[in-house]
Amino acid sequence: MSESFRDLLETFENQYPNRDYTIQIVCPEFTSVCPKTGQPDFGTLTITYVPDQRCVELKSLKFYLQRFRNEGIFYENVTNRILDDLVAVLQPRRMTLVAAFTPRGGITTTVTASMTSRHGDAPAA
Amino acid sequence: MSESFRDLLETFENQYPNRDYTIQIVCPEFTSVCPKTGQPDFGTLTITYVPDQRCVELKSLKFYLQRFRNEGIFYENVTNRILDDLVAVLQPRRMTLVAAFTPRGGITTTVTASMTSRHGDAPAA
Amino acid sequence: MSESFRDLLETFENQYPNRDYTIQIVCPEFTSVCPKTGQPDFGTLTITYVPDQRCVELKSLKFYLQRFRNEGIFYENVTNRILDDLVAVLQPRRMTLVAAFTPRGGITTTVTASMTSRHGDAPAA
Amino acid sequence: MSESFRDLLETFENQYPNRDYTIQIVCPEFTSVCPKTGQPDFGTLTITYVPDQRCVELKSLKFYLQRFRNEGIFYENVTNRILDDLVAVLQPRRMTLVAAFTPRGGITTTVTASMTSRHGDAPAA
Amino acid sequence: MSESFRDLLETFENQYPNRDYTIQIVCPEFTSVCPKTGQPDFGTLTITYVPDQRCVELKSLKFYLQRFRNEGIFYENVTNRILDDLVAVLQPRRMTLVAAFTPRGGITTTVTASMTSRHGDAPAA
Amino acid sequence: MSESFRDLLETFENQYPNRDYTIQIVCPEFTSVCPKTGQPDFGTLTITYVPDQRCVELKSLKFYLQRFRNEGIFYENVTNRILDDLVAVLQPRRMTLVAAFTPRGGITTTVTASMTSRHGDAPAA
Amino acid sequence: MSESFRDLLETFENQYPNRDYTIQIVCPEFTSVCPKTGQPDFGTLTITYVPDQRCVELKSLKFYLQRFRNEGIFYENVTNRILDDLVAVLQPRRMTLVAAFTPRGGITTTVTASMTSRHGDAPAA
Amino acid sequence: MSESFRDLLETFENQYPNRDYTIQIVCPEFTSVCPKTGQPDFGTLTITYVPDQRCVELKSLKFYLQRFRNEGIFYENVTNRILDDLVAVLQPRRMTLVAAFTPRGGITTTVTASMTSRHGDAPAA
Amino acid sequence: MSESFRDLLETFENQYPNRDYTIQIVCPEFTSVCPKTGQPDFGTLTITYVPDQRCVELKSLKFYLQRFRNEGIFYENVTNRILDDLVAVLQPRRMTLVAAFTPRGGITTTVTASMTSRHGDAPAA
Amino acid sequence: MSESFRDLLETFENQYPNRDYTIQIVCPEFTSVCPKTGQPDFGTLTITYVPDQRCVELKSLKFYLQRFRNEGIFYENVTNRILDDLVAVLQPRRMTLVAAFTPRGGITTTVTASMTSRHGDAPAA
């Protein structure tokens, strides 16, 4: 299994824990490598979360995401893995990750995963 | 009745079956043939689904859709048939297919079908 | 009262009556005549419906709509009349008609009517 | 207090009172005067309503709105006043008025008021 | 702790307190300073509220926001602080503040906070 | 040969004949009939001219263009014929007419003709 | 003949007269009155000039343009008149004025005039 | 060498041969096959020409272009070949063909060829 | 007279001096202060130049532009002053500066200056 | 000095050498590394050329550009170096390369270089 980059994520204390508010972070410069073809993939990640005690430090998030630059990983897996890492480190009240990749072979794929969506509680497709 | 292309669809194992998450695939290069006029039709297919145990492999999806290139079939039927094929092969938790065709005679048609919409449970029109 | 064009509408059998699915038809080339000024009106009609046993045949719909070309009729009335004609012929499970007209005197009007909205069951304005 | 322009609004009979349907009227050429600075204000009014027995006649609406051209009145007040006038004359089933003004001092203001929103029944902000 | 600018905010009496209506104010010229790097931040603030007895006077709001021009403060904190100031001065029925900042290091951040969202009542992320 | 509508065009005196200036008129509501299929055509006409002694009166231009509503005429011919009529009536210093029609059979056509382009003096294609 | 508003235009000294540079001013809130119908007209003025010894003061330009608010004047004439006033007051090296009015009767008009275009020196139409 | 489709192109007589005017035809539904991979290619063709004695008949152009549907041919060659066919049949005064294909492997290609560009007379790149 | 910030601009050696090539730098976060009202101004600067021996270092350009943050200076002057500073430090072969400011009082101003435009050699207005 | 990737570029024979025509290739997925900060850069390359005897093979171009993925190189240098490589391999009649990078520190840079622009023959800046 591939190396974990989770330790690169740094956090700072949420100064307004009594209020549920939303932080949205858009990262249009995400790139990883397709494990099957060895070709680079490109996408835009949109992270939306309601912080509890901790917020993610943006510079550390940038370095964390850059570690996928030469990592071979499928669309579906990278989306779920980044969501898992952020949830583990931040323990937010809510979190959704949308990963929109660029077209390949005339086909464009977007993967959306939420921390709160367990099996049996599916969002309307 | 026309030949089935369903066997062309390949799948891979969903690595995150405990989470309900959404995969959206946009295919702007769909083309088939009008059975009445013999003229080509063009459209954009948008497949949105929550996988259960299997995800659709994108290259096989591309080959499957290309098989309609010289197939004579009406808008409404092609939409429902592709939805049926994908549901049969993937057995997803949710699936919706939107097929937006290009204008003909100044009129543009879009057909939307969902795996979970049975008669008596219609979406708001 | 003006002549009915309803008989021009042809239908074909819905091949997927067990599923509630949606057909949206956009007609940006609608034109009629203002009964007060005699000046032509122009608009885009968007018909969205869930078919029951019958679907509307698109060429006949085009000819039906062309019959309004030299017909004097107000915005509100033409919208409701076309909705009534389509509902009578198709008996759909759901149908909404949006008629968006071009600006006149710096003012733009859009009329939206649904088969299922009876008085006392108004949509949120 | 300023003169009422309400009498300028003319109406015609709704031919489809048994159906709740929606009429949306967009007026991008609204202008009034700021009572504090004497400077002209410019905005786009969007009126959305479900008629009961009467619809507003568009030419009279245009003349009514033109009467504000040299009238000194604040954003919030002009929005509520026009809503009140239209509700009084039309007695619609539903009505919402959105007034979107152009930027002043780098700040843009939009006021939205609905006939059905009484205190204690506020829309989500 | 930094100086409060709250006293700069002026209000005027709401003339329509019996109706819940919405005022939206967009301020695309907000700028403050990053406390860590000393570099200027730029963003667009969108304030949406339902007034109770008082509305915010726009010129005073402009002067209030300009006071952040040379103030060192993080994205999350400035959003919550401005919301707190506006709520304290206006005591509105509802209020939401969206602060959308420009990209830094290829990453764009938007913070959204609402007066009515207390912990345990989080909006869907 | 079809009836001439040229007499419908009215003009007024150019108040600034000593200056070469440009008037551009955009008519997005042009409609005529295809002489082969009997089907209506729709297009946007853009007239750009430098007036000499006369300018075209806009209301008369509108009535003139409306006369093509039920006239059977090809794209190329209607463009050249309207240009000829306007040139005959206005005798402008320069005039160009662009006629952009809506798609038919997946193909969109635009015809551009200028008063000053004689054979042997072709514009760059 | 109508009153001249030219005296309202104030100027300040160009600090860089040795360089030919361009100032473009866009005024989207211009309104005057149609002398034939008494109805208000609305348009966007774009003034582009190369200053010589004087630049136009923006606040005085705003007040000057506001004087047309209740002035009856045709599109072609208001464009040429404003150009003449600005040229008289500024004596610029170059100046062009584009006046783009909103649609009337489905027809949109834009008038473009330049200080340097005399008869016999027409721009390409 | 592949079969010629040139004979499918029909023409009609240009009614205005004394004027150089421009006809632009946009065909967004062009599709052929990559001779190397066997995969379908998709593109938008834009044909711009000044007719001499003949204009291209649009329906025959549509049928001609459809013949490439299952033809294996490279981007550069299909562009030059269609240009050659149209020039041979129409003998226009000027003609340019722009072929803009959809992305493949993250790369988008557009080929532009003109009848009048011979070697040594290259357009500015 | 105000302090010069020119010394903040750093340069690096152009590695390709034998080729005339163009560097365009867009700075949408420029802000200064109006010397008359004390209010902040906001604008987007676009610098386009052909380097000779030196290129501007981007970080130093950012710090240089930030020095105008609390500087009182008019639109026309700030544009010409920044152009003069960049020309003095870089001695480029060509340079143009476009400064597009945000609306004030409903009026938007853009100033464009080029190193090579001396009086008597004005660009077309 | 860094390794040359030029040998990765493959070419094929131009089938239409007697005609000067243009091929434009847009590559929105270019990424390299800043040699100063070690941070990744992202940009869109647009290559426009008139081929002589050879055209660039697109798959080899993709592999060539991917080799910059982990290469430390400045904006200005990467643009000129890729232009030099393509010119050396293709010896085209004309070639221009535009490299538009994503924003850094609020500043966006685009570099444009042409094969035919030698010093003393600079394009207008």
A71 pLDDT above the threshold of 50: yes
Which one-letter amino acid corresponds to residue C107?
Answer: I
Q: What is the pLDDT of residue C122?
A: 45
I119 pLDDT above the threshold of 90: no
Q: Which residues of H are less than 8 Å from F112 in CB distance? A: 21-24
Q: Which of E39, E42, E106 sits opposite J102 (nearest CB)?
A: E106
- In the set G7, G20, G27, G34, the catalytic residue is G34
Q: What is the pLDDT of residue G118?
A: 66
DSSP designation for D1:
-
How many Å lie between the alpha carbon of C17 and the closest alpha carbon of chain F?
30
Q: Which of D39, D69, D102 sits opposite G40 (nearest CB)?
A: D69
User: What are the structure tokens assigned to F44, written together?
Assistant: 């946007």
Query: In this complex, is the C-beta atom of C94 within 8 Å of any C-beta atom belonging to chain B?
Result: yes
Q: Which residues of A are less than 8 Å from H104 in CB distance? A: 105-106
Residues I80-92 have a mean pLDDT of 97
Secondary structure in 3-state letters for chain F:
CCCCCHHHCCEEECCCCCECCEEEEEEEEEEEECCCCCCEEEEEEEEEEECCCEEECHHHHHHHHHCCCCCECCHHHHHHHHHHHHHHHHCCCEEEEEEEECCECCEEEEEEEECCCECCCCCCC
Helices (H) and strands (E) in chain G, counts: 2, 6
Q: H66 and B31 in contact by Cβ < 8 A?
A: no
- Chain H neighbours (≥3 Cβ pairs under 8 A) are A, B, F, J
First and final CA of chain F: distance in angstroms?
31
Whether J and B touch (3+ CB pairs < 8 Å), yes or no: no
Q: What is the pLDDT of residue J124?
A: 44
Please give the positions of C annotated as active site: 34, 41
Q: Which residues of C are less than 8 Å from D96 in CB distance? A: 125
Query: In this complex, is the C-beta atom of D76 within 8 Å of any C-beta atom belonging to chain G?
Result: no
Please give the positions of D annotated as active site: 34, 41
Asked about G84 being catalytic, the answer comes back as: no
- In the set F7, F20, F34, F84, the catalytic residue is F34
Q: What is the pLDDT of residue C121?
A: 52
- E strands, G1-125, are 11-13, 22-33, 40-50, 54-56, 94-101, 108-114
Query: In this complex, is the C-beta atom of B38 within 8 Å of any C-beta atom belonging to chain C?
Result: no
| Three-state SS at G85 | helix
pLDDT tens digits, one per residue of E79-101: 999 999 999 999 999 999 999 99
Which distant-in-sequence residues (6+ apart) come within 8 Å of I5 by Cβ?
I64, I67, I68, I85
| Residue H7 and residue H45 in contact, taking contact as beta carbons nearer than 8 Å | no
Helices assigned H by DSSP within C7-74: 58-66
Q: Which residues of D are less than 8 Å from E51 in CB distance? A: 76
Please give the positions of J annotated as active site: 34, 41
Please give the positions of A annotated as active site: 34, 41
pLDDT tens digits, one per residue of C80-104: 999 999 999 999 999 999 999 999 9
E78-103 exposure pattern, b = at least 16 Cβ within 10 A, e = fewer: bbbbbbbbbbebbebbbbbbbbbbbb
Q: E93 and D125 in contact by Cβ < 8 A?
A: yes
Q: Which residues of A are less than 8 Å from E76 in CB distance? A: 14-16, 21, 23, 51, 55
Q: Which residues of J are less than 8 Å from I59 in CB distance? A: 105
Higher-pLDDT residue of B117, J125: B117
DSSP string computed for C64-98? HHHTTTT-B--HHHHHHHHHHHHHHHH--SEEEEE
Residues in a beta bridge with B27:
B45
H123 pLDDT above the threshold of 70: no
Average predicted confidence (pLDDT) for chain G: 92
Query: In this complex, is the C-beta atom of B105 within 8 Å of any C-beta atom belonging to chain F?
Result: yes
User: What are the structure tokens assigned to J11, written together?
Assistant: 């070419």
What chain H residue is nearest to J113 in terms of C-alpha separation?
A: H125
E45: nearest Cα among G41, D106, H88, I70: D106
Q: Which residues of E are less than 8 Å from I39 in CB distance? A: 66
Query: In this complex, is the C-beta atom of J37 within 8 Å of any C-beta atom belonging to chain A?
Result: no
Query: In this complex, is the C-beta atom of E38 within 8 Å of any C-beta atom belonging to chain J?
Result: no
pLDDT tens digits, one per residue of C101-123: 999 999 999 999 999 766 655 44
- Chain F neighbours (≥3 Cβ pairs under 8 A) are B, C, G, H
User: What are the structure tokens assigned to I103, written together?
Assistant: 């609306």
Percent share of chain J, pLDDT over 70: 91
How many Å lie between the alpha carbon of I10 and the closest alpha carbon of chain E?
18
Residues G17-40 have a mean pLDDT of 96
* ipTM for the whole complex: 0.90
Please give the positions of I annotated as active site: 34, 41
